[in-house]
């Protein structure tokens, strides 16, 4: 969610019970603006918080002119001092998927190779690398996993230019209340997968400038999203059951939307048995 509208946005997603104390909101509001200035980001988003056993990671994302370009990610342990995270790699994601249990809240904490898949550990030995995974690497990979799976935007909020870059749609005035209640009105803000498998006939009705991402209506398993109007229908909230703690909000007929994550960074593998 936008750093500039953080207090109001947090109020809109507070129905799930998660949030920040007034002190944390005040500190974040000031430090994120300084972050944007110091790193010269065009926009800064407050991504959320991953709660560990001994501490919490507060995450921010910095964006440039092309919204589809890789985002710069930063974390803080106190909402004041920020550290830039290195770019994610597929190896990090694969290794992080092998780890179970809570985060510790210490970026330098190392997970023993016994907790890693045996094949991965053997390959690391052959490469001459020490089979350890630092929690910082797990943090990077988990943020990437969550963004890929449940990072979403409303349909029409972004447009794809003829040159391939993605920009904010200045003509976007929000979804109607009826449209805001449909899963098909929301897209995954990541590289499309299902879209590439559509037939030419299916693509005929799509607008290439706005329908260039995957819709939520085809997510597997079916039923992994909860859509509900709140505050008397003035805001529509989507909550993920796959990554518990991810909440998206949109105020119909306005440009106000965003998502935030407050959780432990653990995927809900029991979801197929809950549906």
The most confident of the ranges 15-24, 102-111, 159-168 is 102-111
In sequence order, the 6+-apart residues with CB closer than 8 A to the CB of 100 are 115, 266
Q: Is the pLDDT of residue 114 over 80?
A: no
Helical residues (DSSP H) of 127-199, grouped into ranges: 135-150, 177-180
The pLDDT value recorded for residue 61 is 93
The pLDDT value recorded for residue 265 is 93
Tens digit of pLDDT for each residue in 180-239? 999 989 999 888 776 666 655 555 566 667 777 888 988 888 889 999 998 888 999 999
Antiparallel, parallel or unpaired: β 43-51 and 257-263: parallel
Q: If you search the block for the tokens 């991504």, which residue do you land on?
A: 47
Mean pLDDT, rounded, of the chain = 85
Q: Is the pLDDT of residue 116 over 70?
A: no
The pLDDT value recorded for residue 14 is 82
Taking residues 121-150, report their average pLDDT: 79
The pLDDT value recorded for residue 274 is 78
Residues 246 and 143: their CA atoms lie apart, in Å, by 11
Write out the two tokens for 262. 């407050």
Greater confidence (184 vs 125) lies with 184
Tens digit of pLDDT for each residue in 44-97? 999 999 999 999 999 999 988 888 788 899 999 999 999 999 999 998 898 888
Tell me the percentage of the chain whose pLDDT exceeds 90: 46
Q: Is the pLDDT of residue 264 over 90?
A: yes
Q: Is the pLDDT of residue 142 over 90?
A: yes
Confidence of residue 121 (pLDDT cuts 50, 70, 90): low
- The pTM of the full predicted model, rounded to 2 decimals, is 0.86
Confidence of residue 261 (pLDDT cuts 50, 70, 90): very high
The pLDDT value recorded for residue 128 is 56
Tell me the percentage of the chain whose pLDDT exceeds 70: 87
Instruction: Tell me which residue of 115, 170, 119 sits closest to 138, measured CA to CA.
Output: 115
Using CA atoms, how far residue 171 sits from 35, 153, 198, in Å, is 28, 15, 27
How many C-beta neighbours within 10 Å does residue 34 have? 12
Counting Cβ atoms within 10 Å, is residue 229 exposed (0-12), middle (13-18) or buried (19+)? middle
């Amino acid at each position: 969610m936008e750093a500039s509208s953080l207090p109001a946005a947090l109020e809109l997603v507070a129905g799930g019970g998660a949030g920040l104390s007034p002190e944390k909101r005040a500190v974040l509001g000031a430090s994120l603006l300084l972050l944007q200035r110091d790193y010269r980001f065009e926009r800064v988003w407050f991504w959320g918080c991953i709660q560990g056993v001994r501490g919490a990671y507060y995450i921010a994302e910095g964006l440039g002119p092309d919204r589809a370009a890789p985002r710069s990610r930063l974390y803080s342990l106190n909402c004041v001092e920020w550290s830039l995270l290195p770019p994610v790699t597929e190896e990090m994601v694969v290794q992080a998927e092998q780890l179970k249990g809570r985060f510790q809240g210490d970026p330098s904490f190392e997970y023993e190779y016994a907790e890693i898949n045996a094949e991965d550990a053997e390959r690391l030995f052959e490469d001459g690398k020490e089979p350890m995974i630092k929690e910082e690497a797990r943090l990077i990979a988990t943020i990437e996993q969550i963004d890929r799976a449940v990072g979403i935007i409303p349909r029409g909020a972004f447009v794809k230019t003829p040159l391939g870059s993605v920009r904010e749609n200045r003509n976007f005035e929000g979804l109607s209340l009826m449209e805001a209640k449909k899963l098909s009105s929301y897209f995954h803000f990541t590289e499309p997968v299902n879209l590439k498998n559509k037939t030419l006939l299916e693509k005929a009705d799509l607008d290439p400038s706005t329908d260039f991402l995957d819709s939520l209506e085809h997510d597997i398993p079916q039923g992994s999203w909860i859509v509900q109007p709140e505050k008397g229908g003035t805001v529509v909230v989507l909550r993920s059951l796959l990554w518990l703690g991810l909440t998206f909000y949109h105020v119909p007929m306005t440009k106000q939307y965003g998502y935030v994550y407050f959780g432990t960074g653990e995927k809900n593998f029991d979801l197929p048995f809950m549906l």
